[in-house]
């Protein structure tokens, strides 16, 4: 049975999948069982969602016993293409070795759900759907076996890709039963029974990701590896200061360069998320195009271009008061707590830089804008993207193309971390293909990929706290000094009213002041949380020192009674889960043990993306201020672990990413120009600097939630607090190389 035939069948269902339910698909299953699940769009949006994801699912069991599960969700290294099918296989009673996962071949939200990923919510949003899908299939196999063996259903169990008659030991494999199963009625959702956790055979195990073989043999099909017939290679050169307009360029010289097929001056619409002015060059190979750029001579009009200056932003921030222009949270009486002469009060300014996503796969897109056999426009795209549907929307709004005029291949991403959510690199490829009349693969070089990144914004947080006679934290005020590209405050600057630790404080005020900074910014792994955790949890450690208290003891006091701040809201802090991860990490890292001179332990807790994470860093600092991060201990509660290997990877990766970022990464702008564009100016952590990482999962009974982001935010404050413990010097500025430390 060819996948294409099944997909044609799925496609023919079209709008039938508009309400939640399961459908058997006829015919195309080739005598096997083919189930489709559909689920209405998840309506809620919260600011923590980069673009929540949802997958519709298709499962096929063939007569030869092969189980094919279709995955619609984009894969960028977070492991979703492996973990979601594991849930289906578990509930079905399948052997994992019988499962083949196939990436959905197109973008079609009617069929595959939202086909976007972000916010670490993909798993949470799909947990029940995946279980229902598996349990439905299992129920139908059991019904089929009851018919085949003429025994009661209650005497049958499905396990190991077969149904066993428990009293007699007779078995029928899923493959043998597939055709008969397909003729059984689809059970009602309400009648489905999920397996107990203690009976799990697949979930919680370590499963190598489904694309491992392709990756290690070099045939993994990333976006940048796309090659289609008659394809040209292209680049698009923009003004080094974002927003500059093109006056003139030596296009004729470029056209004469070796390997160049054509070149154009292209007028944009001034929207950095769509198309800026630039020079498009297409040629016979990437190198020819990159070489031609070197002789490009463009005159830019920078009247409307960014004038951003990091230095000016620093001066602006340092001049700010304790309370900002816009108050976002104001509970209790902060002013009275600060004015009380019996209270100790501390105020400090924290600073964090712009940083790049630095996806190792540079930004790229392959576009083929052509006429179909009826003379209608048709756009075919090969894109590494976190959101296929957004590309469809763009094709409609910008080019007037209906869904049937657009074919989108969502390619594996060589990292994303929030980066591949924008459209400008797609549009640039479309523009080149439209002009060339041929498919064009646009490749940004590394320098483009950093210079025109939608950076994690830099900013500042002025924190103030009060400690009472008992040494308790009685008030906190946070003032974020953030950015407003084009005058509009970035939503990832914060502060977010729902953020930890605001909900735990009686007297709390959080406010915002922004400065216009036109350098584009966007979501970057655990947006807002990654800077807020650094500032707030480093400052919390300062307050503990001021109070003469142990920071963990003080944090546990802040948590108070075990309670869910907003019951049943997965995005709300659960202090019981927080207490458990904090106690676990303290015990595992042997918190409180005496440390030799020049060494220290640092603790931080943070809650975001529905995850409770506590980390303890162990560092030493030598007389030259060289920091060694020996070990990070992490305790994490994201509910039951789906894929232990994938979960460990995400925590290890987030910790190393957090450390790499805080060690030396900083993007600055002067005169609107990004000043660091490649690895020689932007240091990255190497293997020898990676710490030992000891991860402890508390597999609570709450529904599982995602792990792509939430282990990152506590890392920076944990390390900063450890450096303080080792040296007595506070780190209030990132990266630590800016305050004299090296790694």
Partner 1 sequence: MAKYELMINGEAAVIEAAADMPLLWALRDLQGLTGTKYGCGIGQCGACTVHVNGAPTRSCLLPLSAAAGASVTTIEGLADGGQLSAVQKVWIETDVAQCGYCQAGQIMSATALLNVNPSPSDEDIDQAMSGNYCRCGTYIRIREAVHAAAAYYNAGDKA
Stretch that binds partner 1, among 1-9, 33-41, 71-79, 480-488 (CB under 8 A): 71-79
Nearer of residues 193 and 679 to partner 1, judged by Cβ: 679
Contact pick of 407, 472, 652, 675 for partner 1 (by CB under 8 A): 652
Query: Min. distance of Cβ 645 from partner 1 in angstroms?
Result: 4
| Residue 118 binds to partner 1 (criterion: CB under 8 A) | no
Stretch that binds partner 1, among 282-290, 331-339, 369-377, 513-521 (CB under 8 A): 282-290
Asked if residues 666 and 354 have their Cβ atoms less than 8 Å apart, the reply is: yes
Nearer of residues 193 and 213 to partner 1, judged by Cβ: 213
**Would you say the C-alpha torsion 154, 157, 163, 166 has a positive or negative sign?**
negative
CA–CA separation, 269 and 266 (whole Å):
10
Tokens 């923590």 locate to: 48
Interior angle at CA 468, CA 466 and CA 474, nearest 5: 50
Contact pick of 128, 645, 699, 700 for partner 1 (by CB under 8 A): 645
Interior angle at CA 221, CA 387 and CA 282, nearest 5: 80
Contact pick of 36, 68, 140, 224 for partner 1 (by CB under 8 A): 224
Q: Which of 506, 496, 410 lies closest to 466, judged by CA?
A: 506
The DSSP 8-state label assigned to residue 564 in this structure reads B
| Residue 567 binds to partner 1 (criterion: CB under 8 A) | no
Q: Which of residues 249-268 bind partner 1 (CB under 8 A)?
A: 258-259
| Residue 295 binds to partner 1 (criterion: CB under 8 A) | no
What is the three-class DSSP state of 56?
Answer: coil
Query: Min. distance of Cβ 686 from partner 1 in angstroms?
Result: 5
Query: Min. distance of Cβ 384 from partner 1 in angstroms?
Result: 10
| Residue 32 binds to partner 1 (criterion: CB under 8 A) | no
Query: Min. distance of Cβ 145 from partner 1 in angstroms?
Result: 34
Contact pick of 105, 204, 220, 576 for partner 1 (by CB under 8 A): 220
CA–CA separation, 111 and 670 (whole Å):
47
Nearer of residues 355 and 517 to partner 1, judged by Cβ: 355
Interior angle at CA 408, CA 402 and CA 414, nearest 5: 145
Q: Which of 652, 634, 645 lies closest to 697, judged by CA?
A: 634
Give the contact letters, 399-428, x = binds to partner 1 (CB under 8 A), - = no.
-------------xxxxx------------
CA–CA separation, 591 and 80 (whole Å):
34
Contact pick of 63, 65, 77, 278 for partner 1 (by CB under 8 A): 77
Contact pick of 17, 50, 69, 76 for partner 1 (by CB under 8 A): 76
Stretch that binds partner 1, among 65-73, 608-616, 650-658, 668-676 (CB under 8 A): 650-658
What is the three-class DSSP state of 617?
Answer: strand
CA–CA separation, 434 and 200 (whole Å):
52
Q: Which of 708, 718, 472, 716 lies closest to 585, judged by CA?
A: 718
Contact pick of 43, 218, 341, 342 for partner 1 (by CB under 8 A): 218
Tokens 């492991």 locate to: 79
Q: Which of residues 323-382 bind partner 1 (CB under 8 A)?
A: 358-362
Strand ranges inside 339-472, DSSP E: 344-352, 364-371, 377-384, 406-411, 440-443, 459-467
HSE-up of residue 433 (Cα within 13 Å, Cβ side):
27
| Residue 576 binds to partner 1 (criterion: CB under 8 A) | no
Query: Min. distance of Cβ 684 from partner 1 in angstroms?
Result: 5
Asked if residues 649 and 708 have their Cβ atoms less than 8 Å apart, the reply is: no
Query: Min. distance of Cβ 358 from partner 1 in angstroms?
Result: 6
**What's the token pair of residue 190?**
């309400």
Asked if residues 422 and 449 have their Cβ atoms less than 8 Å apart, the reply is: no
Give the chain's length.
Answer: 743
Stretch that binds partner 1, among 190-198, 442-450, 494-502, 606-614 (CB under 8 A): 442-450
| Residue 217 binds to partner 1 (criterion: CB under 8 A) | yes
Query: Min. distance of Cβ 72 from partner 1 in angstroms?
Result: 19
Asked if residues 474 and 468 have their Cβ atoms less than 8 Å apart, the reply is: yes
Give the binding-site size for partner 1 (rule: CB under 8 A): 65
CA–CA separation, 113 and 19 (whole Å):
11
CA–CA separation, 535 and 200 (whole Å):
41
**Would you say the C-alpha torsion 438, 443, 448, 450 has a positive or negative sign?**
positive
Nearer of residues 211 and 478 to partner 1, judged by Cβ: 211
Contact pick of 322, 348, 628, 649 for partner 1 (by CB under 8 A): 649
Query: Min. distance of Cβ 46 from partner 1 in angstroms?
Result: 26
CA–CA separation, 434 and 401 (whole Å):
14
Q: Which of 119, 126, 124 lies closest to 608, judged by CA?
A: 119
Contact pick of 445, 461, 538, 676 for partner 1 (by CB under 8 A): 445
Asked if residues 616 and 586 have their Cβ atoms less than 8 Å apart, the reply is: yes
Contact pick of 285, 297, 469, 738 for partner 1 (by CB under 8 A): 285
Q: Which of residues 666-695 bind partner 1 (CB under 8 A)?
A: 678-680, 684-688, 690, 692-693
Stretch that binds partner 1, among 89-97, 102-110, 481-489, 646-654 (CB under 8 A): 646-654
Nearer of residues 285 and 569 to partner 1, judged by Cβ: 285
Query: Min. distance of Cβ 355 from partner 1 in angstroms?
Result: 12
Q: Which of 90, 102, 22 lies closest to 62, judged by CA?
A: 102
HSE-up of residue 318 (Cα within 13 Å, Cβ side):
7
Interior angle at CA 273, CA 432 and CA 290, nearest 5: 40
Query: Min. distance of Cβ 360 from partner 1 in angstroms?
Result: 5
Nearer of residues 102 and 595 to partner 1, judged by Cβ: 102
Q: Work out the number of other CB atoms within 10 angstroms of the CB of residue 527.
A: 29
Contact pick of 109, 128, 265, 286 for partner 1 (by CB under 8 A): 286
Query: Min. distance of Cβ 519 from partner 1 in angstroms?
Result: 21
Nearer of residues 187 and 283 to partner 1, judged by Cβ: 283
Interior angle at CA 114, CA 524 and CA 498, nearest 5: 45
Q: Which residues pair with 607 in a beta bridge?
A: 612
Contact pick of 79, 389, 482, 489 for partner 1 (by CB under 8 A): 79
Contact pick of 89, 158, 207, 535 for partner 1 (by CB under 8 A): 207
Stretch that binds partner 1, among 54-62, 204-212, 244-252, 475-483 (CB under 8 A): 204-212
Query: Min. distance of Cβ 282 from partner 1 in angstroms?
Result: 13
CA–CA separation, 647 and 431 (whole Å):
40
CA–CA separation, 62 and 384 (whole Å):
31
- How does strand 364-371 pair with strand 377-384? antiparallel
Asked if residues 685 and 628 have their Cβ atoms less than 8 Å apart, the reply is: no
| Residue 637 binds to partner 1 (criterion: CB under 8 A) | no
| Residue 233 binds to partner 1 (criterion: CB under 8 A) | yes
Contact pick of 273, 378, 446, 588 for partner 1 (by CB under 8 A): 446
Contact pick of 242, 638, 654, 663 for partner 1 (by CB under 8 A): 654
Residues that bind partner 1 (CB under 8 A): 76-79, 206-209, 211-213, 215-220, 222, 224-225, 227, 233, 258-259, 285-288, 290-291, 358-362, 412-416, 443, 445-446, 645-646, 649-650, 652-657, 660, 678-680, 684-688, 690, 692-693
């Amino acid at each position: 049975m060819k996948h294409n035939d099944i997909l044609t069948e799925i496609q023919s269902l079209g709008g039938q999948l508009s309400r939640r339910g399961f459908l058997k698909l006829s015919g195309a299953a080739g005598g096997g069982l083919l189930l489709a699940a559909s689920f209405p769009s998840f309506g809620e949006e919260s600011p923590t969602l980069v673009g929540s994801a949802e997958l519709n699912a298709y499962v096929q069991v063939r007569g030869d016993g092969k189980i094919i599960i279709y995955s619609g969700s984009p894969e960028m290294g977070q492991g979703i293409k492996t973990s979601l099918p594991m849930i289906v296989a578990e509930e079905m009673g399948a052997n994992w070795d019988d499962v083949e996962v196939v990436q959905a071949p197109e973008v079609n939200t009617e069929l595959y759900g939202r086909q976007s990923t972000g916010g670490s919510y993909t798993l949470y949003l799909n947990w029940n759907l995946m279980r229902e899908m598996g349990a439905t299939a299992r129920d139908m196999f059991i019904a089929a076996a009851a018919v085949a063996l003429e025994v009661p259903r209650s005497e049958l169990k499905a396990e190991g890709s077969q149904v066993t008659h428990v009293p007699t030991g007779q078995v029928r494999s899923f493959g043998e039963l597939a055709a008969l199963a397909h003729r059984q009625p689809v059970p009602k959702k309400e009648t489905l029974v999920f397996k107990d956790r203690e009976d799990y055979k697949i979930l919680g195990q370590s499963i190598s990701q489904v694309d491992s073989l392709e990756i290690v043999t070099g045939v993994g099909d990333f976006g940048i590896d796309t090659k289609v017939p008659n394809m040209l290679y292209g680049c698009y050169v923009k003004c080094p200061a974002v927003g500059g307009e093109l006056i003139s360029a030596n296009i004729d010289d470029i056209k004469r360069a070796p390997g160049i097929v054509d070149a154009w001056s292209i007028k944009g619409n001034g929207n950095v998320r769509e198309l800026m002015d630039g020079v498009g060059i297409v040629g016979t190979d990437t190198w020819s195009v990159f070489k031609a750029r070197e002789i490009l001579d463009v005159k830019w009009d920078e009247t409307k271009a960014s004038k951003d200056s990091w230095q000016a932003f620093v001066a602006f921030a340092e001049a700010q008061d304790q309370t900002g222009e816009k108050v976002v949270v104001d509970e209790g009486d902060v002013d009275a707590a600060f004015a009380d002469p019996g209270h100790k009060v501390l105020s400090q300014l924290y600073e964090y830089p712009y940083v790049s996503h630095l996806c190792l796969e540079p930004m790229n897109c392959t576009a083929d804008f052509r006429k179909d056999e009826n003379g209608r426009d048709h756009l075919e795209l090969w894109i590494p993207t976190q959101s296929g549907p957004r590309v469809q929307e763009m094709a409609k709004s910008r080019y007037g193309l209906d869904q049937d005029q657009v074919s989108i291949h969502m390619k594996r991403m060589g990292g994303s971390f929030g980066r591949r959510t924008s459209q400008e690199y797609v549009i640039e490829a479309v523009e080149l293909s439209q002009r060339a009349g041929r498919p064009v693969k646009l490749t940004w070089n590394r320098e483009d990929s950093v210079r025109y990144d939608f950076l994690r914004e830099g900013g500042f947080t002025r924190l103030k706290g009060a400690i009472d006679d008992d040494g308790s934290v009685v008030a906190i005020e946070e003032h974020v000094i953030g950015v407003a590209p084009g005058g509009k405050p970035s939503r990832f600057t914060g502060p977010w009213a729902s953020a930890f630790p605001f909900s735990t404080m009686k007297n709390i005020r959080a406010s915002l002041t922004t400065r216009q900074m036109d350098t584009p910014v966007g979501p970057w792994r655990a947006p807002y949380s990654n800077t807020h955790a650094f500032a707030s949890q480093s400052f919390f450690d300062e307050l503990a020192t001021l109070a003469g208290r142990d920071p963990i003891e003080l944090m546990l006091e802040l948590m108070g009674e075990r309670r869910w701040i907003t019951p049943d809201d997965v995005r709300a802090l659960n202090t019981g889960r927080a207490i458990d991860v904090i106690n676990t990490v303290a015990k595992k890292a042997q918190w409180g043990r005496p440390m030799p001179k020049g060494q220290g332990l640092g603790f931080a807790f943070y809650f975001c993306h529905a995850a409770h994470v506590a980390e303890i860093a162990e560092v030493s600092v030598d007389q030259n201020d060289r920091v060694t991060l020996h070990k990070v201990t992490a305790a994490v509660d994201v509910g039951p672990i789906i894929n232990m290997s994938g979960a460990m990877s995400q925590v290890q990766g987030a910790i190393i990413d957090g450390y790499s970022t805080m060690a030396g990464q900083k993007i600055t702008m002067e005169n609107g120009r990004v000043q660091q564009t490649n690895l020689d100016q932007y240091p990255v952590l190497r293997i020898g600097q990676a710490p030992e990482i000891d991860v402890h999962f508390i597999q609570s009974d709450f529904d599982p939630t995602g792990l792509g982001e939430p282990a990152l935010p506590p890392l920076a404050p944990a390390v900063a607090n450890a450096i303080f413990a080792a040296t007595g010097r506070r780190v209030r500025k990132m990266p630590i190389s800016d305050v004299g430390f090296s790694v």
